[in-house]
Amino acid sequence: MNILLDAMGGDYAPQEAIKGVKSFLSEDATTTISLVGSEELCMPLLKEHEIDLNRVSFIPSTQVIEMHEHPTKALKEKQNSSIAIGFQHLKEGNADAFISAGNTGAMLVGTAFSIKAIEGVLRPTIGSPAPKLNGGLGLLLDVGLNADCKPELLDQFAVLGSLYSQEVLGIANPRVGLVNIGEEEGKGNLLAQATYPLLKNNSLIHFIGNVEGRDLLLDKADIYVCEGFVGNVILKTLESVYTVSLKRKIKDEYFDRFNFEYYGGTPILGVSKPVIIGHGISSALAFKNMIHQAKKMLDTDLCGKMKQKFSQLK
Amino acid sequence: MNILLDAMGGDYAPQEAIKGVKSFLSEDATTTISLVGSEELCMPLLKEHEIDLNRVSFIPSTQVIEMHEHPTKALKEKQNSSIAIGFQHLKEGNADAFISAGNTGAMLVGTAFSIKAIEGVLRPTIGSPAPKLNGGLGLLLDVGLNADCKPELLDQFAVLGSLYSQEVLGIANPRVGLVNIGEEEGKGNLLAQATYPLLKNNSLIHFIGNVEGRDLLLDKADIYVCEGFVGNVILKTLESVYTVSLKRKIKDEYFDRFNFEYYGGTPILGVSKPVIIGHGISSALAFKNMIHQAKKMLDTDLCGKMKQKFSQLK
């Protein structure tokens, strides 16, 4: 297993990425990691943090795709950037998973061009954890990759999300809820009305019906399915609630769980290898957890199981 | 000015409605109120709470539309219900405004059948206050009346919301933000992309561009425009955050402002007379504030100003 981490991604690169690696290595005895980044910037940090170079291999890159750059253009023009090199390694099989807290668009475009969507998957999706009041962890998806969706997409997201929830979050028989504005079947916008029967008849998932905004923090479902526009607005609203709770100096164990660094990053689901996108403000904690997350996705062969599931749909 | 209140609406009817009236009368020296409800249930309460019957007139009703009933069917079959009688009075000009915390669907259907949409208004809308961290009050709309929207509707909601914000919330030149999943023009789903240029070219509003989920609690805009599906999910998510903060016994002045009772109820905007829908769990505080809200809408001639504004659009 070789997990590749972009040391140059995120607002605090490469310092926090390298501290995250250090922290991961202290918790895991066997996994080897590759780092891609500026030799000049990273080498002194690897030394300073006494990283065991028997367990971390280093791939030099000479360019960085900045946060504001146009993804497609930047990937094309900066072939020596850490993200471009990362995807090259993923494509050629030199890496099994790729993690970066860099330019989100470049990560999405890079994924699309380097590794394939799983056969049968119409569109890959991205999900975000939704901490439940009772201690559990829900999964909200899509959270922005697919702004406009057709019912068939939401139906597939439910399958992808259920597998992630089972394998990575360890929930045995995850309940799928359709994000809606009413409880009964037939409620909602045209998309929700058309999606409901698909989910109801989908034998690969455990559909429990509609869920509303008020159910997102409760234990009503494990997977909350919606189109990317809605999911992104919900996610950013909840992130903002957490920011506000910090500003208001509220100390509360539950609100603390809205610190998304605890969960690592955002996995792209429905593609053939694990790719995880970190938040720009990722600190060492987030990097450490993203490596754990990628490891879990590899250990459980999540992508293989997704392939198998979608081959049944043919 | 005659504000009509349904005493039978809400989970704690008629007790809380009548306590709300009492509370309103103690704060306002001149306004007269009409109450519609069960004589048997209300009269003893009016006596018990020593309501000044010179300022409150009573209209007896013998039926109640329950929360679970089908709106159109119930309104047709229960012509002696408090809601049906309320709309009859509104229609005939015996009341200037109508308030109820009863069956939301019946309130919407009753409005549609008894009073007209303002000429030029394609669809009335409902908005909800969004408390800002800095103490101000934003307005989110639509929050569920129009699940699926066309760009022209969002454009009109911006005008209706701006007038409400100016007249009732007292914000001089309210800034309109389009709820979206990115900051730049051109971002978002198809609806947001098509709505942006309409808002940008709308001379009746002060459009400031896209706003994201993370901006909703901040002072980025005063009006947050979105389609009803999105607005409803956001609203219920925020209501849930408040519920959770209560469960977690968090005492915080800002989170306390998520108690929607402080703002009264949800006004239907774009119709010719003020109609306010209360939350089912409305207590005396909410009823009192709904009466204040209706009074403010009448005092400022909000509906007249909406008529005037939309006549300019012809």
Contact B217 A244 (CB under 8 A): yes
**Two tokens at A62?**
């000479």
> Which residues of chain B have a CB within 8 Å of the CB of A238?
213, 237, 241
* pLDDT greater than 90 at residue B25: yes
Contact B237 A235 (CB under 8 A): no
Q: How many residues does chain A have?
A: 314
Contact A213 B232 (CB under 8 A): yes
Place of tokens 């080498």: A43
Contact B230 A227 (CB under 8 A): no
Mean pLDDT of chain B: 95
pLDDT band at A100; cut points 50, 70, 90: very high
Q: Which of B119, B146, B144 has the alpha carbon at shortest distance from B270?
A: B119
pLDDT band at A258; cut points 50, 70, 90: confident
3-class secondary-structure state, position A308: helix
> Which residues of chain A have a CB within 8 Å of the CB of B105?
none
* pLDDT greater than 90 at residue A277: yes
Share of chain A above pLDDT 70, in %: 100
The alpha carbon of B66 is separated from its chain's Cα centroid by a whole number of angstroms, namely: 20
Residue of A146, A178, A214 best to disrupt the B interface, most CBs of B under 10 A? A214
pLDDT band at B138; cut points 50, 70, 90: very high
Residue B43: predicted pLDDT: 96
A51-68: pLDDT as tens digits: 999 999 999 999 999 999
> Which residues of chain A have a CB within 8 Å of the CB of B235?
213
Strand partners, B124: none
Amino acid at B117: A
The arithmetic mean of pLDDT across residues A120-138, rounded, is 94
B210-239: pLDDT as tens digits: 999 999 999 999 999 999 999 999 999 998
Exposure string of A9-38, with b = 16+ CB inside 10 Å and e = fewer, is bbebbbbbbbbbbbbbbeeeeebebbbbbb
The arithmetic mean of pLDDT across residues B174-184, rounded, is 96
Residue A123: predicted pLDDT: 96
What share of residues in chain B are helix, strand, coil (percent, to 5)?
45, 20, 40
Share of chain B above pLDDT 70, in %: 100
User: How far away is chain B from the Cα of A194, in angstroms, using its nearest Cα?
Assistant: 13
Residue B312: predicted pLDDT: 85
Residue A314: predicted pLDDT: 66
Question: In this structure, are residues A182 and A227 in contact, taking their beta carbons and an 8 Å threshold?
Answer: no
Q: Quick check: B131 contacting A, CB < 8 Å?
A: no
A132-189: pLDDT as tens digits: 999 999 999 999 999 999 999 999 999 999 999 999 999 999 999 999 999 999 999 9
pLDDT band at B262; cut points 50, 70, 90: confident
The alpha carbon of A75 is separated from its chain's Cα centroid by a whole number of angstroms, namely: 20
* pLDDT greater than 90 at residue B194: yes
pLDDT band at B17; cut points 50, 70, 90: very high
Q: What is the pTM assigned to this prediction?
A: 0.94
Whole-angstrom distance, CA of residue B276 vs CA of residue A195? 33
Residue B66: predicted pLDDT: 95
For chain A, report the end-to-end CA distance as a whole number of angstroms.
30
The arithmetic mean of pLDDT across residues A104-131, rounded, is 95
Q: Quick check: B256 contacting A, CB < 8 Å?
A: no
* pLDDT greater than 80 at residue B314: no
Contact A230 B233 (CB under 8 A): yes
Strand partners, B98: B4, B275
Strand partners, A277: A100, A266
